[in-house]
A = this chain, B = another copy of it.
Amino acid sequence: MKISTNITIFGGTGDLTFRKLVPALYIMRRTGKLAPDARVVIIGRRDYTDDAYRTLARDWVRRFSRLPYTEADWDAFSQSIHYYRMNFSDPTAYSGLADCYAQHEIGAHMFYFAVAPAFFGTITEGLKTLPGLSGSKVVIEKPFGETLEAARVLNEELEGFFGAENIYRIDHYLGKEMIRNVQTIRFANPIFANAWNSQSIESVEISALEDVGVETRGGYYDAAGALKDMVQNHLFQILSILAMERPDNFTSAELHREQLRVLRALRPVDASTLEDTLVLGQYAGYREEPLVSPKSTTETFAAMRLFIDNDRWRGTPFYIRTGKKTGTRQTEVAITFRRSTPETDPDVLIVKVQPTEGVYLRFNIKRPGDTEDIVPAKMDFCQNCILENHINTPEAYERLLTACLNGERAWFSQWDQIELSWNFIEHLRALVAQTALPVHPYEAGNRGPDAARALPEKFGHAWVEEDD
């Protein structure tokens, strides 16, 4: 039997595999994005037969599939799943995996490291002992290391064996429908494209608010904090997509280059500008969460005011905020245009990323009736909120796994972007320590501490609050 693509998932009994990867592969098979002769090898330490694992996985697919589950589709797909028990920390265990692969002719390998970064090196060492795997695709998840230095070493090892062009670093925000749509909305609409600069735009906001707290992830989160967990990767990716120059063509190389130029142009922050750049917060009760230090000063909320020092953006602040327990779940981008007069509300273009996917424009009209008063109104396009228009867009992982299979690199993080972002955030962290910047407490259900609200207000701006 010939296997076109062999997908090996390390960490096959973990949450990510059950909630995201297996349901995504199930849909990909249904929708023709995963070939019928592809095989999924699940690697874990527990003892399962193929059938036992399939039965377990089926329950997760039933729960998390974005399309209605059908028995027939599951039966067809589940035959491709094989469970292979091994301790991937044991270098001697890999010879058995070699035997497993050798039973069939395999067109291409793709590895998914759904494990902690501490194991990336170990697994890579193990795979090196097998024949013919150099040059395979490998997918990894952030965090890419405990420290920037550790991540750098790890990256070199991965790139050395698999090749830089075969490392797919998942940033699942890049798989979201409306983040991928930002480019189109911006570049394919001259009324926006022509106004996409500091002459026309007063401020830009990127907001990623969560309703939940740290839940079971207190251990990881307390060491990371909002800056590293959200800003450094997801929000800086969105920032660079929003702000980049139009690439000559939309290849991944050109897109990555333009994104990188944005990060390079971020205005450096020093101790004297830190207070006008960063506000940190921690929700009340965070220190009582499981696995969180009772004296933790980790931020669960961060608000930022950044500048991009290039011709397009000089003078336009980029406001970023993210946090947990904010009383809402909402990721969106807001472009606030300059006002026509000081008395008039600004036009605001909002791209809603989640949970609603859509676009709306706040603009000005005459108040209806016998008056010439000017009042704001809202033109709305909602992709997934109106029943009749309901479009069930692919899940981020489905989209990103498909992109990886097809060798589309545009929507994965490049190492140089990661390194720049990481350096920027590490520098901020050092300034926070040096200046003893406070971490303001906030009540759960608030959109961060009062100081976060005050940050844009000090400069005549405000966070764009959803009115529906």
* Interface of A toward B, CB cutoff 8 Å: 33, 177, 180-181, 183-185, 187-195, 200, 250, 337-341, 344, 347, 349, 357, 359-361, 363-366, 368-370, 372, 374, 377-381, 383, 391, 393-394, 399, 402
Q: What's the Cα separation between A344 and B187 when bound, in Å?
A: 11
Report whether B340 and A190 are in contact in the complex, using a CB–CB cutoff of 8 Å. yes
Q: What's the Cα separation between A48 and B189 when bound, in Å?
A: 63
Given contacts A184-B372, A370-B394, 17 further A-B pairs with CB under 8 A are A177-B369, A184-B364, A185-B363, A185-B364, A185-B366, A189-B363, A190-B337, A191-B195, A191-B349, A194-B195, A359-B365, A365-B383, A368-B383, A368-B393, A369-B393, A370-B399, A378-B381
Q: Which residue, A340, A360, A394, has most C-beta atoms of chain B within 10 A?
A: A340
Q: Which residues of B contact A374 (CB under 8 A)?
A: 184, 188
Q: Chain B: which residue is nearest A406 at the CB level?
A: B370
Q: What's the Cα separation between A364 and B344 when bound, in Å?
A: 27
Shortest Cβ gap from A102 to chain B (Å): 33
Shortest Cβ gap from A95 to chain B (Å): 38
Sampled A-B contacts (17; CB under 8 Å): A177-B369, A180-B366, A181-B366, A184-B365, A184-B372, A185-B365, A188-B341, A188-B374, A189-B340, A189-B347, A191-B363, A357-B368, A359-B365, A361-B361, A363-B381, A369-B391, A377-B383
Q: What's the Cα separation between A368 and B190 when bound, in Å?
A: 21
Q: Chain B: which residue is nearest A182 at the CB level?
A: B366
- Closest 10 pairs (CB-CB, A-B): A379-B379, A188-B364, A184-B366, A379-B381, A181-B366, A368-B391, A368-B393, A189-B363, A188-B374, A377-B381
Report whether A344 and B177 are in contact in the complex, using a CB–CB cutoff of 8 Å. no
Q: Which residues of B contact A379 (CB under 8 A)?
A: 359-361, 379-381
Q: What's the Cα separation between A181 and B368 when bound, in Å?
A: 8
